Amino acid sequence: MRIREHGAVSEDDAWSTVAAEWAATWGAAAAPAHAALLDATVVGAGARLLDVGCGSGELLRIAADRGALVAGCDPAPGMLALARRAAPEAALREAGVEDLPWPDGSFDVVTAVNALHLADDEEGALAELRRVLVPGGRIAVASWAEHAANDLDAIEAAVAEADGDDPSPDLPERLPGGLEALLAANGLAVEASGIVEAPWAAADDAALVSAVLLGEDAATLEELGPVVVAAAAPFRFPNGEYRLLNRFRWAVARA
């Protein structure tokens, strides 16, 4: 899943290219983080919620089921098409966090899961999230936890090494206290934060390799597939299934 470390969505719209496969393999991976954010922001009937970088719409589905009035945006049309299917009641727009197509003060809660780091300018992105919130509204963010907290990252480190890449350092917001510091530095009052476990499974070698190397070409799959399988050996069960334990950090702040 090396696409998650790539910067903002590229001109050739990398996220749309992998949308269906991403949704099938990783779309539910952040579900425990989604639930933590919606619990902490007390999202319920009538709350106006915007999910930025909504991907294939999993958070929107849960929020709508809790009675929220949901809106979402994502710059990748392929992701938005899936979100439209997952949450037909959502007001969806093709947009990145840099320029949200809603007026000031439109929402009670704005969420961004594994999306803020894809903005060119995270501080500008936070200011934009704040702009569309009502005074006293809540910003709720989550990201993968630090490498050491995720089985997946051990596999990705092995892939990077085999590919001749240096291990990527943890983004600051992945580290303990990182999301809280980012929010506080931007004038937001942190109310709650935490870390949640996010189990993930692949049925067999093929499913594991295509999920970890999502978006890579056939030659790369052939070259690095065996690296993925070898690195994942500690997480393999006798029936051939792989079960990984990953974690997400989350934080909620008031505007």
Ligand X SMILES: C[S@@+](CC[C@H](N)C(=O)[O-])C[C@H]1O[C@@H](n2cnc3c(N)ncnc32)[C@H](O)[C@@H]1O
Binding site for ligand X (CB under 6 A): 4, 8-9, 15, 30, 52-55, 59, 74-76, 79, 96-98, 113-115, 118-119
| Three-class DSSP category at 88 | coil
User: Smallest gap, in angstroms, from Cβ of residue 120 to ligand X?
Assistant: 7
User: Smallest gap, in angstroms, from Cβ of residue 170 to ligand X?
Assistant: 16
Question: Quick one: 8 or 184, whose CB is closer to ligand X?
Answer: 8
Give one DSSP letter per residue of 53-67, joined into a string: T-TTSHHHHHHHHTT
Dihedral angle of Cα 31, 115, 61, 70, to the nearest 10 degrees = 140
Residues 6+ apart with CB under 8 A from 22: 3, 15, 55, 56, 79, 214
Question: Quick one: 52 or 209, whose CB is closer to ligand X?
Answer: 52
Question: Quick one: 105 or 215, whose CB is closer to ligand X?
Answer: 215
Question: Quick one: 229 or 248, whose CB is closer to ligand X?
Answer: 248
Q: Which two tokens stand for residue 187?
A: 């004038």
User: Smallest gap, in angstroms, from Cβ of residue 227 to ligand X?
Assistant: 22
| Three-class DSSP category at 154 | helix
Question: Quick one: 116 or 155, whose CB is closer to ligand X?
Answer: 116
User: Smallest gap, in angstroms, from Cβ of residue 102 to ligand X?
Assistant: 14
Tell me the angle at which helices 58-65 and 77-86 cross, rounded to the nearest 10 degrees.
30
Question: Quick one: 113 or 255, whose CB is closer to ligand X?
Answer: 113
User: Smallest gap, in angstroms, from Cβ of residue 86 to ligand X?
Assistant: 11
Q: Which two tokens stand for residue 37?
A: 């954010």
55-90: buried (b, 16+ CB within 10 Å) or exposed (e) per residue?
bbbbbbbbbbebebbbbbbbbbebbbbbbeebbeeb
User: Smallest gap, in angstroms, from Cβ of residue 144 to ligand X?
Assistant: 9
